[in-house]
Amino acid sequence: MELAGGELICESLIQEGVDLVFGHPGGAILPLYDHLTKYPQIKHVLTRHEQGAAHAADGYARATGKVGVCIATSGPGAINLVVGLATAYMDSTPMVAITGQVTRGAIGKDAFQECDITGITLPVTKHNYLVTKASDLPMVIKEAFHIAKTGRPGPVLIDVPRDVLQELSNFEEYPQTIDLPGYKPHVKPELSQVKKAVDLINKSKNPIILAGRGVQISGAEKELLEIAEKAQIPVISTLLGLGSFPGSHYLSLGLMGMHGSAFANIAADESDLIINIGARFDDRIVGKVEDFATNAKFIHITIDPSNINQNLEADVPIVGDAKSTLEMMSAMVIKTTRTKWLARMEELRTKHPLHIPESDSILPQYIIRELWNETKGEARIVTGVGQHQMWAAQLYPTNVERGFITSGGLGTMGYEVPAAMGMQMGRPKDLVWSIAGDGGFQMTMQELATIRDEKLPVKFAIMNNSYLGMVRQWQELFYDNRYSQIDIAGPNWVKLADAYDIKGIRVEKKSDVRSAIQEANDHDGPVLIDFVVEQEGNVYPMIPAGQSVQEMVEDPEMHTKSSAVLK
Amino acid sequence: MKRIISALVHDRPGVLNRISSMFRRRGFNIASLAVGHSEKTGFSRMTIVVDNIEDSQIDQITTQLDNVVEVVEAFDITDQPNVVRETALIKVSATPSTRGQIVEILDLFNGIEVANVSTDWIIIEITGTTDQIESMLTLLEPHGIIELMRTGLIALTSN
């Protein structure tokens, strides 16, 4: 059967199980959009900006584990995807981006809306393709999905010239196999390394598990729970690891690192063995390498061999996926009690709790805690980047697998609007709350139109302090209070919501916080809450960049006027 | 320190860009790079020499290379039994009166050819180890080197 390139893409997407794509049309990609009309089984969501399409595909992928797909035209359209691709690349999100390109004959001649998108995205994609023949499309798409979702997942970009989208090619059947001799993810770990690791665990008195995003990527949540309970090992988490282990579990210590709880950081420092499962020991976790957990040995389980010894030298490196490795380990790990070590954890939680300062004004921490109380940690959370993100990570210990998504590696402000949209589309029946900053929200708020069109019942909690809060905190602490360009007052938020036919609520009094959350939960549709919060407040604890737990700063007011909320 | 890395890669447009881009953005310095067809159709072999790197970075280079989808395999072969060669083309000043002295120098080395000659220069082709080429250059220096082109190292393991 003779099909045009655009039809080959649609047929191939269907073969890959794709039923939802996010995108924005334009000149070079028009033939694909023309053919899309013949494939109602692929739903297309029209975002208002290509960045929104990329983050939405990312949020959808993180919430479901499927490959997220986004589409853009050549030149500016493709370039607008870049921050979304880089966000996905840093956080290992499986994505496929399809971009239009100028016709083959025009490439390299500075044609209208031409740009070298495969060149631009080289460092922020796992792989990319410039397709020069329509007949290559099915195999390229097959490979792209395989590369995107296996090993350490990541975004793959496919750039297709307009005349390739139109070119006819014979299509009999979708390829069943692929031949990529240079691409062999190492899923099954070496037994000898696993035995060495188990030996360390069985001999350890004070072990701790550091759970990263690799746990969720490989679907190893059950295996993690099993081994932690069997060997009674407390679990700390990276920012992206949140959701790998139930936040309310007695062994869960939650977030560690720069803004992790004091008890989690001290526990890591006092441990004699850190078992890193699917994280890369990045600088936000480790701080100063020489002073990080100086008494501990390190087991490092990762699917990406380049993560081994990248930041920190492991005593037992294991290349493999978290699920296969934990399955092998579980059987060999000895069941034990560790009464003393767990008692020490309880002592640390009591001495160094996470807490909320007493205040008459509304603190973001208070809102997040009330949100947790109201939803019992069962809502799906998306955050932006900054202070609210750290407070959400500390104070909303999620109990939901894949229930906390955030731009961790790249720290992309504005992620909270389109990613929430993607998460809600992937989990249509679940309650999705986007904890947003007023700074980040203003970067991507055009997607409120998409949310309205798609009738997505996302709830936005905007922490409105009219400041770039985290920038202000750094200027206060590290630049002698010299505030520079941080006043970022937004629009009248309720009017903005109203302009998009979205329910808007403004909350100015602490006593109204809980009822506003309830009202939003009860409303059958999207809600935007403008929480007018305390302008100046700092995220504590804080380990300054490049330092260690010895330099950790806890809230100076902690023991005078505050209440412990989370032990 | 200097390391020699050998890689087998797909022979496709953009592969060299992918590899050099990885070296650049991770801060590894390429001292020389040689690439050409390998024994397998559709695959090229590369010899990449990196310098000014720490011991701890060597695994980073090979694992990051392996992460490039089009790299089939990449090894640090510096400490393995190997054959390492480089070719240089040297255009050196030579007048009828100095030509004899230069030919005397050439007789001290193996693997030498006079590739071309004119009234005021000779182009010498030398294939050998880096050390041999360096000492040849030291001896020719006083005569005046007009142009120099080196291929960079090519290497094969010999085990």
A108 touches chain B (CB under 8 A): no
Report the C-alpha gap between A315 and A298 in whole angstroms: 5
Pairing of strands A127-130, A95-101: unpaired
Task: Give the distance from residue B86's alpha carbon to the nearest chain A alpha carbon, in angstroms.
Answer: 28
Reported as a single tens digit per residue, the pLDDT across A207-260 is 999 999 999 999 999 999 999 999 999 999 999 999 999 999 999 999 999 999
Considering only alpha carbons, which residue of chain A is nearest residue B13?
A130
pLDDT of B56 above 90:
no
pLDDT of A56 above 60:
yes
Report the C-alpha gap between A304 and A185 in whole angstroms: 8
Q: Helix (H) and strand (E) counts for chain A?
A: 23, 22
Pairing of strands A43-46, A20-23: parallel
pLDDT of A506 above 90:
yes
Considering only alpha carbons, which residue of chain B is nearest residue A181?
B72
pLDDT of A350 above 90:
yes
Reported as a single tens digit per residue, the pLDDT across A535-545 is 999 999 999 99
Name the H helices within chain B.
15-25, 58-67, 99-106, 130-140
pLDDT of B39 above 60:
yes
Domain limits for position A49: 2-170
Q: Which residues from A are below 8 Å from B72, CB to CB?
A: 181-182
Q: Which residues from B are below 8 Å from A300, CB to CB?
A: none
- So what's the pLDDT on residue A561? 57
A180 touches chain B (CB under 8 A): yes
- So what's the pLDDT on residue B137? 96
DSSP sequence for A348-390 = HHHHS-EEEE--SSPPHHHHHHHHHHHHTT-SEEEE-SSHHHH
- So what's the pLDDT on residue A273? 98
Q: Which residues from B are below 8 Å from A180, CB to CB?
A: 69
The answer, as to whether pTM is greater than 0.90, is yes
Report the C-alpha gap between A7 and B121 in whole angstroms: 63
Nearest CA to A165 out of A297, A267, A34 is that of A34
A289's enclosing H/E stretch is none
Q: Which residues from B are below 8 Å from A155, CB to CB?
A: none
Q: Which residues from B are below 8 Å from A310, CB to CB?
A: 60
Domain boundaries, chain B: 3-76, 83-157
A118 touches chain B (CB under 8 A): yes
Q: Which residues from A are below 8 Å from B14, CB to CB?
A: 118, 130
Partner-chain contact B69 A130, CB within 8 Å:
no
Count of other CB atoms within 10 angstroms of residue B145: 15
Mutant choice from B63, B64, B71, B72 vs A, greatest count of A C-beta within 10 A = B63
E runs forming strands in A241-349? 252-255, 273-277, 297-302, 316-319
A428's enclosing H/E stretch is none
What backbone torsions phi and psi does residue A334 show, to the nearest 5 degrees?
-80, 135
Confirm if A61 and A14 have CB atoms less than 8 A apart.
no
Partner-chain contact B63 A305, CB within 8 Å:
yes
| CA atoms within 13 A of residue A293's CA, in its CB half-sphere | 29
Q: What is the mean pLDDT of chain A?
A: 96
Nearest CA to B136 out of B76, B78, B90, B101 is that of B90
Do A119 and A246 reside in the same domain of the chain? no
Q: Which residues from B are below 8 Å from A130, CB to CB?
A: 13-14
CA dihedral A111, A113, A118, A121 (to 10 degrees): 140
Reported as a single tens digit per residue, the pLDDT across A418-440 is 999 999 999 999 999 999 999 99
The enclosing domain of A310 has a CATH number of 3.40.50.1220
Which residue's structure tokens are 């505030």? A483
Task: Give the distance from residue A130's alpha carbon to the nearest chain B alpha carbon, in angstroms.
Answer: 10
Considering only alpha carbons, which residue of chain B is nearest residue A131?
B13
Do A212 and A76 reside in the same domain of the chain? no
Q: Which residues from A are below 8 Å from B21, CB to CB?
A: 122-123
- So what's the pLDDT on residue A455? 97
Question: Looking at A170, A200, A227, which one is the last position of a domain?
Answer: A170
- So what's the pLDDT on residue A214? 97
**Cα three-residue angle A139-A140-A143, rounded to 5 degrees:** 85
B33's enclosing H/E stretch is strand B29-37
| The pair of three-digit structure tokens given for residue B1, joined into one six-digit string | 């320190």
Mutant choice from B69, B72, B73, B75 vs A, greatest count of A C-beta within 10 A = B69
In sequence order, the 6+-apart residues with CB closer than 8 A to the CB of A19 are A41, A42, A43
- So what's the pLDDT on residue A557? 73
Confirm if A281 and A300 have CB atoms less than 8 A apart.
yes
- So what's the pLDDT on residue A566? 67
Considering only alpha carbons, which residue of chain A is nearest residue B10?
A182
- So what's the pLDDT on residue B55? 83
Burial of B121 (0-12, 13-18, 19+ CB in 10 A): buried
pLDDT of A355 above 90:
no
Over residues A523-529, mean pLDDT: 98
| The pair of three-digit structure tokens given for residue B67, joined into one six-digit string | 């992460």
Quick check: is A462 in a domain?
yes
In sequence order, the 6+-apart residues with CB closer than 8 A to the CB of A300 are A276, A281, A307, A308, A312, A314, A316, A317, A318
- So what's the pLDDT on residue A167? 98
- So what's the pLDDT on residue A340? 97
pLDDT of A72 above 60:
yes
Over residues A521-530, mean pLDDT: 98
- So what's the pLDDT on residue B1? 82
- So what's the pLDDT on residue A446? 98
A535 touches chain B (CB under 8 A): no
Reported as a single tens digit per residue, the pLDDT across A470-495 is 999 999 999 999 999 999 999 999 99
> Confidence class of residue B146 from pLDDT cuts 50, 70 and 90?
very high
The amino acid sitting at A420 is A
Do A359 and A329 reside in the same domain of the chain? no
- So what's the pLDDT on residue A567? 59
Report the C-alpha gap between B71 and A181 in whole angstroms: 8
The amino acid sitting at B36 is G
The amino acid sitting at A171 is F
> Confidence class of residue A307 from pLDDT cuts 50, 70 and 90?
very high
Report the C-alpha gap between B7 and A4 in whole angstroms: 38
Of the partner residues B25, B59, B71, the one whose CB lies closest to the CB of residue A309: B59
Quick check: is A532 in a domain?
yes
Do A433 and A500 reside in the same domain of the chain? yes
- So what's the pLDDT on residue A559? 61
What backbone torsions phi and psi does residue A480 show, to the nearest 5 degrees?
50, 45
Q: Which residues from A are below 8 Å from B71, CB to CB?
A: 182
Report the C-alpha gap between A379 and B117 in whole angstroms: 81
Confirm if A71 and A78 have CB atoms less than 8 A apart.
no
B10 touches chain A (CB under 8 A): yes
Number of domains in chain A: 3
What letter would DSSP give residue A189? P
Report the C-alpha gap between A211 and A238 in whole angstroms: 6
Over residues A296-315, mean pLDDT: 95
Q: Which of A205-209, A263-267, B105-109 has the lowest mean pLDDT?
A: B105-109
Do A144 and A260 reside in the same domain of the chain? no
> Confidence class of residue A83 from pLDDT cuts 50, 70 and 90?
very high
Distances A89 to A44, A282, A427 between C-alpha atoms, Å: 23, 15, 22
Q: Which residues from B are below 8 Å from A118, CB to CB?
A: 14
Of the partner residues A123, A126, A306, the one whose CB lies closest to the CB of residue B60: A306
Partner-chain contact A305 B25, CB within 8 Å:
no
Distances B79 to A230, A272, A301, A421, B2 between C-alpha atoms, Å: 45, 36, 28, 54, 11
Distance from the Cα of residue A505 to its chain's centroid: 27
Q: Which residues from B are below 8 Å from A119, CB to CB?
A: 17
Considering only alpha carbons, which residue of chain A is nearest residue B72?
A182
Mutant choice from A306, A307, A311 vs B, greatest count of B C-beta within 10 A = A306
Quick check: is A240 in a domain?
yes
Q: Which residues from A are below 8 Å from B75, CB to CB?
A: none
Do A232 and A84 reside in the same domain of the chain? no
Reported as a single tens digit per residue, the pLDDT across A150-187 is 999 999 999 999 999 999 999 999 999 999 999 999 99
| The pair of three-digit structure tokens given for residue A426, joined into one six-digit string | 């992937």
In sequence order, the 6+-apart residues with CB closer than 8 A to the CB of A122 are A128, B17, B18, B21
Q: How many CB pairs under 8 A join A and B?
A: 40
The enclosing domain of A513 has a CATH number of 3.40.50.970
Give me the residues of B, 42-101, that contact A with CB < 8 A. 56, 59-60, 63-64, 66-73
Quick check: is A36 in a domain?
yes
Domains B3-76 and B83-157 share a fold: yes
Query: Three-state SS for A421?
Result: helix
pLDDT of A113 above 90:
yes
Query: Three-state SS for A212?
Result: coil
Partner-chain contact B17 A122, CB within 8 Å:
yes
Burial of A335 (0-12, 13-18, 19+ CB in 10 A): exposed
Do A358 and A346 reside in the same domain of the chain? no
Q: Quote the radius of gyration of chain B (alpha carbons, Å).
A: 18
| CA atoms within 13 A of residue A517's CA, in its CB half-sphere | 22
Quick check: is A529 in a domain?
yes
**B83-157, what's its fold?**
Alpha-Beta Plaits (3.30.70)
A183 touches chain B (CB under 8 A): yes
A399 touches chain B (CB under 8 A): no
pLDDT of A111 above 70:
yes
- So what's the pLDDT on residue B111? 83
Of the partner residues A118, A130, A306, the one whose CB lies closest to the CB of residue B63: A306
CATH number of B3-76: 3.30.70.260
